[in-house]
Structure 1
């Protein structure tokens, strides 16, 4: 999921009631988790927590606690298993008809029953609203939805799709009540109503959410086992402030995102009562291009950038051992990974880049502005973009300016096509190679990119989804990645590792953040168990 921070107009009715004043980590026995994700609401994004809009790691980490899905990915990140469903499966060999039967006695948190019609309503609502945030693309292969009685729903797909169970495990497929959500309109604000393992209250200051309190939902029926009664999620403006809160015992754990310096300090000089843990991660970072923008419309400009950028030097300078160079959209730990950008461009080569530009008749130096978000991916982002600028300028082929903006402004401008070159990160919606390809190259994609390759979109992506054995789809993903390296609609830079830090009386920490950076708050408990 881009994955992926947010934003609501400051309406008086949304400002109250507020929760009680802030307290320490022991208040009310709640486990307190810190995050640097920011939850803001603006006129451009007034419904940050509506499943039909939310497509960002921070938002999904709220929705996963509160909104139930038919399937979910277990903590070991294996294949999806039933959650709100009693069972699910393809009812045909072509993987075009997917049938789910609901668990008996399911209700929303307010006690109203959940039926197959609620599932149908929720998913058809996403497709009807079709937000420009890219969420509907995950479900766009649905042709029709059929209900059979009160507890059975059948999804008829336009084309075979072995990844469909994963898509039903994402918050975009969350089950909502017709009484709380309108069919054709997003729900403004931070309130969420669902049937997930927790109910939620939110504290606000102006247009920003400053604390989320999750309380065990007594009506919950599903596959998840809760190991606590209450968890608080507190957003912090930066990693250092969050770190001080952990040291002073105001919070029990800090998740995304720790800074490189924090990880280094906590690893080399452990603090009493605090442990830092590396957990598997699948985050990638990349440059995206508006391929219709004059500065980068010529493919040779994008290819020359690919030939000049030194990923190894960039990672060593900015991220050290917390990241590694990436030469593909698909990271090394995912089936289907290859290294097409290294195969095509090799080590950084200024002479080759110059020839690409000269052969295409591009006058140098090419003027570029590299755009990045200042408050979404961590403190090192600014340093990363200054390092990229120096590499490009040093080639004498580019004249580069760097420009940063807050996420609420940045994401809106990026989707609108204001930026020729921009930096983004991606946290997968589900751990499958399809989710590193389709969100960037398929129709209605997350980037809202003008780049279209019809072979990829109309032939290769559908072909890859026909393979129930995902390793059998690797040759198709290899073809797609070669096309990406040739056309360079995006330029992968690095893949990251994940770390959490926590007080040593907290257990379950190693399970509380999965490979997609989803917070599984129900895994946390106190004591030594």
Structure 2
């Protein structure tokens, strides 16, 4: 090999290793060049010392290192990207890294906080899969340190290199097998106007319209009719909960994007910058650890169950954030990881204005930046002159670049404290000193589904958004009605109501669509031909397949169960997946290949230094043999959510293939809420799921896919 793309590492034992980077290893190769390769005069080198240290790693995870782009040096990982070398390990070790000119070294050293690192089994019992810990319950301290380092880093070029390292490690350790990156399938009648796409938020149905000549059809549910003022969606599944603090899946978030409001939001197809919602203006301190949000005045939450309204102010915002963490659902990880709800508080406008006199803040919006020294400064900067309802101070333990994206997520829709606490409201308000001490509210809430406020919101949701839940019957239908109490209500919304018709049979849904009973329909890709070319009363069926989504579909191993606790077994099974057949037969080519936990083209996606797993049963058998695993001794249950025909087909294919390896394989399905509950508690062997990003940052893929909930006393990043 030429010196370009090669590095040499001199470690304590003076053993020299080299690894090929810059795209030299591709396809299904799974080897590391082990010949000693010293730099020549034509490839000048520099060297640096990466201070790390000692630690104890689980042998099953570290023994698999040595693949493309990775070198294990005793208790230190070295990951090679096209632009840098990332060295990660406990503080104390000092390996010397020699590399070609122009290749930077990024060193991540850490000290684990053993006392505060939760036990993986405990996280399972609490149902924290895909929350506080990744869905595979995979833990590796080096990987966790890289995740934390990337979260705290503010330099985008350094963050990108750390993300590349995590992509490479995710590809090697395979806690999840990435089946591919989704291409969106949207089926709807062309009488629907104004459709748009956003990677994290559903469309707002009050912003869509219909041709006034669209058909009028009775839908067969009570006296509801699909007319030009009603948007009907034929779909499958059921929201995990109507409580935003207890739902962490697309359906629940879709509902809350219609019936709730967050502090900030993305307007339609915006992805670069958020827009005001319940917050009309915001500013932060110099290091980004304190954010202040000026709350919109005149906002009311509407309670349709009792025909009552509740005014919203900064105290409700503080309560909403603390409540998400207190209930402790898996979704709460985004609050507990990046925010300090106890240190956050509600302020009056006067208190905030007084604070600004001695503590100027920084406001950034629409490409402009200003120093803010008064409340009037902030309002003028954002061009707002309407009523306000206090200021919410949000404290972060560490600066986090994409925090505003998190605040746009529907699970942080602001809920009325008075509605949820009832006759305890005044007492709780006084205990917290009107929101100055939100920690007092922990005594008025409890963890999990037994919490009374959850039981209330789960059954009788109340929000501030453009719609409200008017009627529903579990697993049958949900009816949303336009909210005349909405702060931005109009006399002529795009739709007066939205109706979700729930049916697990795709052909039944297609029949609803063909007759015009539904305006849009969710169907498996293999049914596309049944809805192409349809016409109804002069209108045409639209089958849209031109949007490549930042959505990954993947298998999840339970790495706390044998034999999936061995990374070599996971690699073997990654080679026992018929990727091309799945893409062609199951998804009708609506699945693009991807090999790690970041979608293309987000920062960190790379095809260099990775294994491009293909379907190779011989390789799978070889790796199982190397792992010393006898497949005939293991039973594997493959599970999927019922009603999802594509996932059923995938699991049936895998049952056939993995049975050929000798495993005893069964396939089972569960309804969506049960499915989520089982997977969050680690009650599975292998399951299949898709990941729609919570917010638009690469950390929202590598963190949820890889972070093992290790706590650290320190994580330090240095660059040389």
Mapped to 1, the partners of 2:282 and 2:662 lie a distance apart of 55
Mapped to 1, the partners of 2:278 and 2:327 lie a distance apart of 24
2:587 maps to 319
Which of 667, 674, 684 aligns to 1:409? It is 674
Unaligned stretches of 5+ in structure 1? 5-18, 443-450, 464-474, 476-529
2:598 maps to 330
Alignment of 1:66-465 (within 5 A): 66-78=259-271, 79-89=273-283, 91-109=284-302, 110-131=308-329, 134-140=330-336, 141-143=338-340, 144-149=343-348, 150-182=389-421, 183-184=444-445, 185=451, 186-188=454-456, 189-204=458-473, 207-208=474-475, 210-221=477-488, 226-254=493-521, 257-267=522-532, 269-272=533-536, 273=539, 274-278=541-545, 280=547, 281-339=549-607, 343-365=610-632, 367-375=634-642, 378-394=644-660, 396=661, 398-442=663-707
Q: Match of 1:292, SS?
A: coil
Q: TM-score, normalised by structure 2?
A: 0.54
How far residue 61 of structure 1 moved from its aligned partner, in angstroms, is: 1.2
Q: Is the 2:640–2:651 Cα contact (8 Å) retained in structure 1?
A: no
How far residue 404 of structure 1 moved from its aligned partner, in angstroms, is: 2.3
Q: Structure 1 residues 431, 437: closer, same or farther in 2, change over 3 A? A: same
How far residue 219 of structure 1 moved from its aligned partner, in angstroms, is: 3.4
Deviations 1:290-333 (A, max 9, x none): 21112312222112112332322321121122222221222224
Q: Structure 1 residues 191, 165: closer, same or farther in 2, change over 3 A? A: same
Q: Match of 1:202, SS?
A: strand
Q: Match of 2:417, SS?
A: coil
Mapped to 1, the partners of 2:259 and 2:345 lie a distance apart of 25
Q: Structure 1 residues 264, 343: closer, same or farther in 2, change over 3 A? A: farther
Q: Match of 1:293, SS?
A: coil
Mapped to 2, the partners of 1:209 and 1:458 lie a distance apart of 51
1:469 maps to none
How far residue 121 of structure 1 moved from its aligned partner, in angstroms, is: 0.6
Q: Match of 2:463, SS?
A: coil
Q: Structure 1 residues 435, 244: closer, same or farther in 2, change over 3 A? A: same
Q: Match of 1:411, SS?
A: helix
Structure number with greater Rg is 2
1:12 maps to none
1:23 maps to 224
Mapped to 2, the partners of 1:52 and 1:362 lie a distance apart of 42
Mapped to 1, the partners of 2:584 and 2:545 lie a distance apart of 19
Q: Match of 1:33, SS?
A: strand
How far residue 198 of structure 1 moved from its aligned partner, in angstroms, is: 1.5
Mapped to 2, the partners of 1:22 and 1:325 lie a distance apart of 46
| Alignment root-mean-square deviation, CA | 3.1
Q: Match of 1:152, SS?
A: strand
How far residue 355 of structure 1 moved from its aligned partner, in angstroms, is: 3.4
Mapped to 1, the partners of 2:499 and 2:546 lie a distance apart of 21
Mapped to 2, the partners of 1:364 and 1:372 lie a distance apart of 19
2:163 maps to none
Q: Is the 2:234–2:513 Cα contact (8 Å) retained in structure 1?
A: no
Q: Is the 2:235–2:509 Cα contact (8 Å) retained in structure 1?
A: yes
Alignment of 1:13-52 (within 5 A): 21-26=222-227, 30-39=229-238, 48-52=241-245
Q: Is the 1:145–1:153 Cα contact (8 Å) retained in structure 2?
A: yes
How far residue 50 of structure 1 moved from its aligned partner, in angstroms, is: 0.7
Higher strand proportion: 2
The number of aligned residues is 419
Q: Match of 1:315, SS?
A: helix
Of the structure 1 ranges 118-127 and 80-89, higher mean CA displacement relative to structure 2 is found in: 80-89
2:192 maps to none
